[in-house]
Structure 1
Amino acid sequence: MTSTSRLSGLRDLPVADRRRRIQDSTGVGPEALAALDPAHGLQVEQADHLIENVIGVMGIPVGLATNFTINGRDVLIPMATEEASVVAAASNAARIARVLGGFHTSSTEPLMQAQIQVLDVVDPEGGRARLLESRQEIIDLANEQDPILVRFGGGVRDLLVRLVPSPVQTYVVAHLVVDVRDAMGANAVNTMAEAVATRVGEIAGGRPLLRILTNKADRRITRARAVFDAESLGGPQVVDDLVHAGALAQADPYRAATHNKGIMNGISAVVLATGNDTRAVEAGAHSHAIGPDGRYTSLSRFEKDADGNLVGFLELPMPVGLVGGATKAHPVARSALAILGVGTAQELADVVVATGLAQNLAAMRALATEGIQRGHMSLHARNIAVTAGATGDEVPQVVARLISDKAIRAEHAQQVLAELRSAR
């Protein structure tokens, strides 16, 4: 159980000392963190069982976002990302949200859907009606495919049938709505869809073709809210400017695309760290960003409350799980989940969406004040220094010069490094 996520000075410690701080704060043992060493993490032999034609393993840095309070619980959040400033930005936004209680979440049930496409139905309206009349038969047949899921309280909750006109013909499309409990759910709903497809085709009077889940998981929604203290943000003018920045993202798809990318910087980093499906989450998020009018818009909303503070809201589908897939097979994912201390898929979804809101606020604040490049490029300077060949105590010295000279470029880093070494 995390005692506090407020680990000030963590970035100034060596990696080994950071891990000891995490152990002291979370109670997670050193063996759980050992997987974060490349030598003890995902090995080629393990990777060979995860995907096909394995030739190696690619490393992604795993950082720890601090300062988060989510539904009254302090939590340290592992984030897997190669992009500089993401972890620091999320931690800083969480520190500001912490002043007024942190993040609060709500959610729907963990419902996923599978589609069965039926072709060549002479009477599509009649086919739809026949399927709905056979609703219980189809639900029972689907539930027979996963008795364990049913035993744990999950299973098919409904059968929906849509008529989808296309340039070729009108398709009858049946949807199985399935409570997948603590799984992401793709395997469960796909198995069910394949099992009932033949019978669905017979009842509808056509030929079944596609039978697969939809990543438009709009029945599996998680929402996060936070109040960001006006003084900590920089004052009333900053709050007003942030409201304007959020309003542009709502109104303009060109701004919304980058605005939502900032949200996904945080979300995808946590999803990846926990061994979940980043592509499924991203697909669901961006499809959710298309409003009722068919226009792409921002996933988040911002407004000013009666006390002059900034209130942020984020809502999107969050199909993540704790069972199955890489969440159990990948040692780093197991380590990340141990650090998070989550017990259900919904608790994990809460963490993911809260991180997305924090990341969003941090990016907007940078844009509305100093500009995105100052903070981003300061951190990027470390990458440039290392690429130039700096090691050990050379890195901070090169970084300091790059920032001081306002020239964060590879050739300048090489020049600075050469000067340092020649001076020794």
Structure 2
Amino acid sequence: MVTEDKVAENKIPRDDLDDYSESIIKTRQQYFEKFSGSKINHVGKYSIDPQQLQGNIEHFIGVAQVPIGMAGPFTINGEHAQGEFMIPLATTEGTLVASYNRGMKLLNMSGGVKSTVVDDAMQRAPVFVFEDARGARDFVQWVKNNFETIKAEAESTTSVGKLTYIDNFLSNKFAFLRFNFKTGDAAGQNMVGRATFAACGWILDHYQGVKNFYLESNFATDKKASHINIMRTRGKRVTAEATIKREHLLQVMRVDPKQIDYHGRVAGVGSFLSGVNNTGLHSPNGITAMFIATGQDVANVSESSAAILYSELTDEGDLYLSITIPSLIVATHGGGTGIGTQRECLELLGCYGKGTVYKFAEIVAAVVLAGEISLASAISSSDWVSSHEQYGRNR
């Protein structure tokens, strides 16, 4: 029989007055040690001020330390990111930093990478349930007719978020609405949730016939890979592209542009057969390493993993390579971006604070392209396994 005393004994210690004080953190560490039978050593060593973590974590006991390596300098020719950048990558995967560094070296020789943010949208997708399909159809038309008022209601909750449009999708007797916002320098999931809730409150007060309503229908595909994000954008849609000289590929990568282009077409068949959301090789490697280093919500790698890689041979025999990331969810303000090492890494890139999120998105996309050309070259020239044998986990 479990007694109340036993339940209390197994309850994680908290301090309702100050749950981020050194004393309560120490108490929780001791509780964890007693519960697990293991000692806290590295986890309990940190330089950040726990008082600054309110809103970022609960039941704080310490930190997870992930090694950070540097790659670069890297030349980026964006509309917002212009110049040379040193790139922080947080990872425990051997060869990853070296591979990205090699790709950057190659791209620098051909003038760097052109990066462009082409779209920006963050969603919340409520669903309205009706008596029948006609009721759902008529409701969607009413929403279209009242968009400006709905927009005003949504934007009354935020000084930053802007409702740009509402997609509608009808199925059975359901009306799925996908509210699309611009969210400034924040990733914006919570922001658009509040704004959409306010807008839906006005809708429910002014439209008769709604039988049921849910603020989220799973159609925004929050933290899930989906085809609609590839087609319609979630976060930032950004493209990185470069034309790589044949002689540089031969010099640095020991591979001919024709080899990479042909390998890409063969791999495209493999992508189609497997049903993946990415025709490239490993864009989540660079994205995840940058996300951890800069305080992004790492779960958003799920959406951000989608990518469309394209290559062609120029008349001069060089290689044009382009990658589009249709749902890159990044922030340079709010969330985890202001914490200790994460803020420092963003500051290193000149991307901390308001007005820098497009710059950061352009940098991430350029880094992804460097990783793609490096791994594609390694596979095409059969250097892939030997590199891991020398530098990676097989050493």
TM-score between the two structures when normalised by the length of structure 2: 0.75
Work out the CA distance in 2 between the residues paired with 1:140 and 1:326: 29
2:166 maps to what in 1?
A: 159
Please give the residue correspondences for 1:380-395 in structure 2 after superposition, counting only pairs within 5 Å. Answer: 380=392
Instruction: Answer yes or no: is the 8 Å Cα contact 1:366–1:372 preserved in 2.
Output: yes
- 8 Å contact kept, 2:249–2:255: no
In the other structure, the counterpart of 1:313 is 322
Q: Offset of 1:198 from its aligned partner?
A: 3.0
Q: Deviations over 1:245-302 (max 9, x none)?
A: 211232222496786451111122112211112322432433xx5xxxxxxxxx2112
C-alpha displacement of 1:41:
4.1
Q: Which residue of 2 aligns with 1:74?
A: 84
After superposition, the CA RMSD in angstroms is: 2.6
Deviation at 1:204, TM superposition (A): 6.8
The equivalent of 2:93 in structure 1 is 83
Q: 1:60/1:198 Cα in 2 relative to 1: closer, same or farther (>3 Å)?
A: same
2:60 paired with 1:54 = yes
2:233 to 202, 211, 218: 218
Q: Equivalent of 1:199, from 198, 202, 208? A: 202
Task: Give distance in 1, aligned partners of 2:279 and 2:388.
Answer: 16
Distance of 2:89 and 2:244 partners within structure 1:
22
State TM-score, norm by structure 1: 0.70
Is structure 2 residue 252 aligned with structure 1 residue 230?
no
What is the CA distance between 1:183 and its match in structure 2? 1.3
Deviation at 1:141, TM superposition (A): 0.5
Tell whether 2:193 aligns with 1:184: no
CA offsets per residue over residues 10-29 of structure 1, 9 Å max, x none?
xxxxxxxxxxxxxxxxxxxx
Gaps of 5+ in 2: 1-43, 223-228
User: 1:18 maps to what in 2?
Assistant: none
Kept in 1: contact 2:294–2:342 (CA 8 A): yes
The 1:121/1:65 distance shift into structure 2, 3 A limit, reads farther
Q: Answer yes or no: is 1:173 the counterpart of 2:193.
A: no
Q: Distance in 2 between matches of 1:247 and 1:52?
A: 48
Deviation of 1:46 after TM superposition, in Å, equals 5.4
Partner of residue 285, structure 1: 305
In 2, Cα distance between equivalents of 1:160 and 1:262:
31
Relative to 1, partners in 2 of residues 1:377 and 1:237: Cα closer, same or farther, differing over 3 Å?
A: closer
Q: Equivalent residue for 1:96?
A: 106
**Structure 1 residues 156, 48: closer, same or farther in 2, change over 3 A?**
closer
Are the aligned partners of 1:112 and 1:189 in contact in 2 as well (CA < 8 Å)? yes
Identity across aligned pairs (percent)? 23
Structure 1's 372 and 46: CA in aligned 2 closer, same or farther, altered over 3 A? farther
Could you say which residue in structure 2 is the equivalent of 1:363?
375
Displacement of 1:208 after TM fit?
Answer: 1.4
CA distance in 1: counterparts of 2:208 and 2:286, whole angstroms? 44
Instruction: Judging by fraction of residues, say which structure has more helix.
Output: 1
Match of 1:241 among 239, 246, 259: 259
Partner in structure 1 of residue 29 of structure 2: none
Alignment partners' CA distance in 2, 1:276 and 1:267: 10
Change (3 A) 1:162 1:258: closer
Which one-letter code corresponds to 1:245 in the other structure? H
CA contact (8 A) 1:48 1:54 kept: no
